[in-house]
A and B are shown apart, each in its own frame.
Chain A
Amino acid sequence: MTVSDVPATVLARARKGDSEAFRELVEQHSRSAFRLAYRMTRNEQDAEDVVQESFLRAYRHLGRFEARSHFGTWLYRIVANCAVEHVRTRLSRQNRAPMEPIDNLAPPSDSPGPDRLAESSNVRERVDAALDGLSPLERAAFTLRHDEGRSIDEIGRTLGLGKSAAKHAVFRAVKKLRVELSGIRDKGLGIGA
């Protein structure tokens, strides 16, 4: 059953607090919610937490959902914003703990061949560290543009930003990544995750 097959009656019942009807919505939308949450957090456990929190938030605010809107689109916005908060909390925790600067991560070895897997893993670590260096909003806007293929307009609507703010969040993210990854980029170690 696709997302668009959710009958209006199920939504209407869920909006009146019918938990069985809400269960149907959860069952139909969980996988797509997880995909978005994972892309935004790049961490499986964080994505699971975001999915749960998003559905609890959706249930709480279901009365405010406009029936003529698409539930999937509404939930998408909730998941995206929940992921932003989750990433913010994670970064805040990391900032309180002693953190290894990105430049201190071991640089990738020049030798090709058997060490290639280790290099790839190292590159991925550096990419993850560079992504963690973005602000939560920059990261969210970047993910929606880069991984989800959303237009600047859609990113603005999803994150509650104006078009200009959404555009500049993406610009800042790409520029920061370009600077942070310049060392390994120049060595020509591009990998496709």
Chain B
Amino acid sequence: MHYTDDDLILYYYGESSRRAAIDEHLVTCGTCSTAYQEIVSTLALVGHPEVPERDERYGLEVWQRIRHKLPVQEPPFWMAWLKPALAAAVVLAIATAFVSGRFWPAQQTPAPQSAAGDDLAAAARERVLSAAIGDHLEQSGRVLLDFVNSGGDKVDVSDQQLTVADLVDTNRLYRHAAERAGDETVASVLDELERTLLEIANGPSTLTPAELEAVRARLDAAALLFRVRVLSDELHEREIAPAQPRKTT
């Protein structure tokens, strides 16, 4: 009976559970002893790299190099979960209000005696909705970007899938609202975004680099990230601009 190379490698690194037995065996077995000596001399040849010294100022030097490149911090896990949940609640309220016909000006039939006041209120509500959709698109864009930038032999996307699943619910409510308002531009981007989010949420939690590359390619082909960003900016502009009649393209 001989020990395998795997056994001998574990033995070399002191992680074998059969240390005493292998000790004895190597004394009597020429085959295993030769194999073990080859492993020992190979690893001696590899050696250990001598790490160049870095003095006490090194930390400060690293800081000087990165201080102007610090990225935006991502929200903590609980916030990533809570924000979509809160957003969904707000969206539900807004969508309910919209469905009851009190939102987009195009669908209003104001009473003559309070037309001016109602117009102002409707414009304010529209700006709130634009801001909410803009925030949703911005967050979705960040999540998608994070997703496509994942790397590794086996990419574990289970964390992103949880966030994406929340975004799908929120997205659906906004899409319904935009469709009912006849805002085709917003509805179209939200529709495409929803299909992509669904694909990610319902897909495998571990992707191979090839599968991830396929998702990237589809996103690139549809220019989805770009369109999401442009629409998000536009909606945020609407939020701060004076109320204007809504364009329908």
Residues of A within 8 A of B (CB): 15, 17, 19, 22-23, 26-31, 34-35, 38-39, 42, 44, 51-52, 55-56, 59-64, 81, 84-85, 88, 123, 127, 130-131, 135-137, 145-147, 151-152, 160, 167, 170-171, 174-175, 177-178, 181-182, 184-185, 188-193
Contacts and interface: CB of A to CB of B under 8 A. Distances in A.
Interface residues of B, number: 44
Interface string B96-128: 000000000000000000000000000000000
Interface stretch (B37-45, B83-91, B194-202, B241-249): B37-45
Contacts of A38: 49, 51-52
A37 B38 CA distance: 28
Contact of A30 (B49, B51, B58, B151): B58
Contacts of B45: 123, 127, 181, 184-185, 189-191
A190 B51 CA distance: 19
Contacts of A52: 62, 65-66, 69
B67 A42 contact: no
A100 B115 CA distance: 80
28 contacts: A15-B73, A23-B63, A26-B63, A30-B58, A30-B59, A30-B62, A31-B54, A31-B58, A31-B59, A34-B54, A42-B49, A60-B71, A60-B73, A62-B73, A63-B77, A64-B77, A85-B152, A127-B45, A135-B153, A146-B13, A146-B43, A152-B15, A174-B5, A174-B39, A174-B42, A181-B45, A181-B46, A185-B41
B153 A137 contact: yes
Contacts of A88: 151
Nearest to B42: A178
Interface of B: 5-6, 9-10, 13, 15, 38-39, 41-52, 54, 58-63, 65-67, 69-77, 79, 151-153, 156
A29 B46 contact: no
A63 to B, nearest CB: 4
Given A15-B73, A26-B63, A81-B152, 17 more contacts: A19-B70, A26-B62, A34-B58, A39-B51, A56-B71, A60-B74, A63-B77, A136-B153, A167-B10, A175-B5, A177-B42, A177-B43, A178-B5, A178-B42, A185-B41, A193-B49, A193-B50
A64 B60 CA distance: 25
A63 B71 CA distance: 12
B44 A19 contact: no
Contacts of B47: 127, 191-193
B38 A178 contact: yes
Nearest to A152: B15
A131 to B, nearest CB: 7
Contacts of B153: 135-137
A102 B46 CA distance: 15
A63 B79 contact: yes
A52 B61 CA distance: 10
Contacts of B51: 34-35, 38-39
A64 B152 contact: no
